[in-house]
Structures are given as structure tokens and as C-alpha cells.
Structure 1
Amino acid sequence: MDRFLSKVVFGAIFAAMVQYIGAQTVYNVGDGLGWEIPPNSSVSYTNWAAGKTFMVGDILVFNFITGQHDFLRVPKASYDACSDANAIGSAITTGPANVTLVSAGEHYYICTFGSHCQMGQKLAITVSGTPGPNPPTSSPPNIPVTPAPTSAQPDACAPTPSSTPNTAMVQYIGAQTVHIVGDSVGWDIPPNSSVSYANWVSGKTFMVGDILVFNFMTNQHDLLQVPKSSYDACSDDNAIGSAITTGPANVTLDSAGEHYYICTFGSHCQMGQKLAITVSGTPGANPPTSSPPTTPTTPSPTSTQPDACAPTPSSTPNAGRPPASATSPAGTPPPPYDSSSMSVFASFLPVLLSIGAALLI
């Protein structure tokens, strides 16, 4: 019975992790256009949203210049009338800004500047609450409780901490932040040294799992990760992967250490379009990588702890992610996962398998 219960618990935790990690995607609203008055109907936000699937937990990135645009969530009647009546929350006036989709249903956004909304700067999307069941929020998945001790399960059979690796996974997931590289400048040649990328990086903490959003116009810039020697020389020698030529682009930080990026167009790198960051692998303890955390083993059965005393899954380590606010300034969204989140999930797979093995002993 204990083994059966362990299988049920492990299955619930595993399913919850898959649903949560797999659901989240980062969307750059309007892609290369950003949040702007559309130049014509062929690039309207209706066309941009067509064919996309938006899920609870996904992130919308509105790229706009502060003082030139804003965005406000409104009900459908106000969206249709381009009115700020009965607004849902306050207008976000500082760009770029991130919005985490925290509820299912219809979501409507407009720009309140002048006649921008009437000219097409408005967005309507439908948000689905499930990739299956709803992804975990502040409440943990339903996990069967351990039966009360009986004559066949004495008080000495206390639950063992074999599921503690999940704590590290929850910390790891909660650490993720979306960073808009250069904020409103985007990924461009810095206009002067006061807005260099070294200054932008100063004071920020980058963690494994965080996302860098490089906002640039296709065919005007690109993005290439290189080792330090190539970064210093503004060279594409020994490049790490291929150049990303279509903007905007999202990069998920999948390893700790020094990361270096340059633009390979002309002398852009020499003019300051280069980024160096240090990525930490921990939000506390090191997050799981390819090797799972050490799992305490169950003591060998003795006369005071019979074979029936298998580790019990009474703890609820996968307590789900903390609740997120509906909007947040750039770089500080609630925990997110972009379209590369499945690569993050892949790094967890050995840990999950280790937990399952420990539970099934």
C-alpha cells in the first residue's frame, strides 16, 4: 500500500511540474514592431495574435518608449469604444513593461495616448487556463495524505525526507526573471557611455533560468554569444552557437558563469553594442542541473523499524509557485518560462527520476 501511495504522490508532483513548466511562454507584443501605432492593417495586433495560444502564466512584453505610449487593460465595451472607462487596474506608463496573464478569459489592452487606440494600437487576446488542468498557483496539487499510524505502522515510522530535492526545484523555478536588455534603448549602439550595457548590468542579479530579451530590428543588428577573448576583441571567433539575426529574440540563461554577447554588424561591437554578465546558478542552494541533489537514504529495517516503515510522502514539497501580480515593471515579472522552458524541464528530469526512485524504495 505504501508503494502504491508513493507512486500516486510522485505522479501528482511530476504532472504538476510538467503542466507548470510547459505552459509558460514569453510573447513580444507586435514582435519587431513593438507596442506602437500599426503602420497599416496588415500588421495589426489582431493579425499578430491570430494563431497564437495564450495560457495562464504566459508573459506579454510591451515594448514602447516612455512618454510616447502607455497601455491599459479594459473591459470589452471600453476596448470597442477606445475608452478608459471601467479600467482594470492603472495604466502602465513606463516602457518596456511585462504583464503576466494570471486569469483565463478575454483580455483587452489599449493605448490611451491621443487617438492611438482608434488608429489600431489595441490588443485583444483569449487566455486559456489549462494545458490540461490549471497550472499550479498558490495552492499545491491534491496529494493523498499518509494514513494515520496503526498497529502495522507504529509511531516510529515517521516520514523520511526523501522528497527534499523538490524544494530546490521550487526555489529554482521561483528565481526566474525576464530582463529587457538595455531597457528602453533595446539592443542597439549605445548613444553614449552613460547608457552603456555595463551600466545597465550594474546591480542586477542574473540566475540560471532567467530570460534575456534582446529588442532589435531585423537586418539592422544581430546577436552572438562568444568567449571572453572574442568579446574583448569584438570578434566572432570561436562563437558559441550561431548568430541570432531575427529580432526581438529571447535567450534563456541555461548555465552559470560568464556570458558574453556582441553584435557582429560592422563596428557596432567596437561602438559599445556588447554585453557581459555573470550568471549565478543559485537562488540559495545550487539549482538542480544534470546531477540530482543527494537524497537521504532510508535506514535499514531494524527491530524498531520494520520493513513496513517505507518513506512516506506526507510532505508537500511542490507547493506550486507563489501568486503573481498582474503587471510588473520590466525585469521583475513573476516567475515565468518562455518557449524554451522545455529545455529547463529537461534539466529537471534526472531529479524527478531520482525522486521517483527514492519514493518507490
Structure 2
Amino acid sequence: MVSPKHVMLMFTIIAPSAICFGAVYRVGDASGWHPTFNYTKWASSNKFHVGDTIRFEYNAIFHNVKEVTEPNYRACNGTKAIATYFSGNDSFTLNHPGHRYFLCGFPYHCRYGQKVEIDVVGEGSSPSPSPSPSPSPSPVADKNPANIKGLECFNTLMVVSNHIKTGHLNVQIFDFVNIINSIGIGAILATMLSTDDGTSRPIFTAGEAVKFITQNNYILFKVNKLIEVLHCWKRFSSRSMDNVLQEIFRREDETFLTLKATCKPFLVPFYDLRLTLLFVGFFTKERLK
């Protein structure tokens, strides 16, 4: 039987140890660290104290963690990070009260929500109110999300345009393809899945690529009434497409990723409106065959 004196001694030794170690929070809980989770809601549902630890768990092929300043957090700017981590399992001890800001530095991930603000409170303090963030533009949803089209119209418009430019009636759309004025969902999706960030790491997972195309379909392929001459329901808008593609294929050093720089050789899917056939073009550094 343990005497009361021994019990008191055990309590005296163990109790301070319990005080020295704070709670450990896995960012995103079971969901982990990825672009489609609501980290603002997650952070507001927890109370972080000095001494606690937050842990980011993720696939290091597709994501990283950058600690940034508040202005860069609001702007989703990871180019001037305080520190960058990419182990796939990164822990941060919250040593002092105040706000800390984290985001994923992979292109477009932060804008899809892969960022979190941690408000750390001291003992006996209440969480400080966060400054009201300026509303960020939400991705424009397609007015008809079940009808993700564009390949047929792209093919028609680009071929007609190239006929006018070259004067050759036999010119094909795949003679003029590059990443900035690509030719449809198939090519965009294939490029997103295959383009790396310069270190052989893909920029997008399959799920992220599909979600991006779905949410930005209305921007990529602006809806217009039926154009009788071209026989398509969608109007190609090169300016809106350029803006979107330049955003997602921009490196942190502000240079653009291109097919020639990242994927060679490369298979690109095309759709022949005249033959109503889906086929694959073979791209090399020299030319598209």
C-alpha cells in the first residue's frame, strides 16, 4: 500500500510536467493540409495558448508550409516567406501570444483556401480580434456546371483564326499550341496534371485540377448565344483564358511555366470537330507533330 507521503511526492513530481507541455493541434484535424478545407472555421473553433503546438501533415509532393507576414497572408503572397517547410510533417511551437500566418506556396493553393491564421493567447487572456480581411474574389461558378464544354468551339475558332493568319486551308489547330493559349479542357487538364514546378513536383493533384476547371469554366469559356457560322455554343475568349492560365502556371520568381520548359515529350488531347473524334497530338521541344 502506498503511503500518503509517497502519493504527495508523486503528485509533486508529475504535476509540473503536465503544466510544461501544451496541447498539440493537427491543422485541419483528420483532413490535414490541402486547398479545399475551411481553415478559418477550424482555427476559430480552437483556442491556442502559449506552449501549444500546431502540426501540418500533408503530401510534400503537392504542398508545403510557408510562414508569412499578415499583408502577404492577406494577398496570398508566398514569395517573401519568413520560413518555408516541406517535410510533410511540420510542427510549430507557439512560444508567444499574437497572430501567426501560414499558407501553401504552391500556385493557386492559397487562393483556394490553403492558409490559416493562428491567434495565440497568453495565460488569462482572451483571443484578440482579428482584423477584418478584405473580401477575396470567389471563383466564378459555371452557370451550367453540368455542361463543361469548350473543346469543340475552341477547335473551330482556332482553326478559322489560323486559316486567316496563314492562308493555308490545311492548317491544323495543333500547329499553334502552347500553354498560354491552349485549346480546351483536355489540353488544360493534361497540362495541369503533368506540369511540374521546376523541381519535378507536379503543381496539381488530379482532384485539384478537376476542381479548378469546374470552378473556372465560366471564365475560361465565356458563354455566348449560338454562333451560326461556327456552329458552337461557346465563344473563345483568349484574354480571360490567358489571365487564368498565367495565374496558375506562374512560378514564385514571376516566370511562366510552359510546355516546352516542363513537359517534353508530351501528349496533348485534341478534339476534331469535323470528324467528331478525340485524338492525341505529340509534342516535342522542336514542334508539335
Band of TM-score, shorter chain = 0.3 to 0.5
Higher relative contact order (CA 8 A, sep 6+): 1
Which of the two has higher C-alpha Rg? 2
TM superposition score normalised by structure 2: 0.37
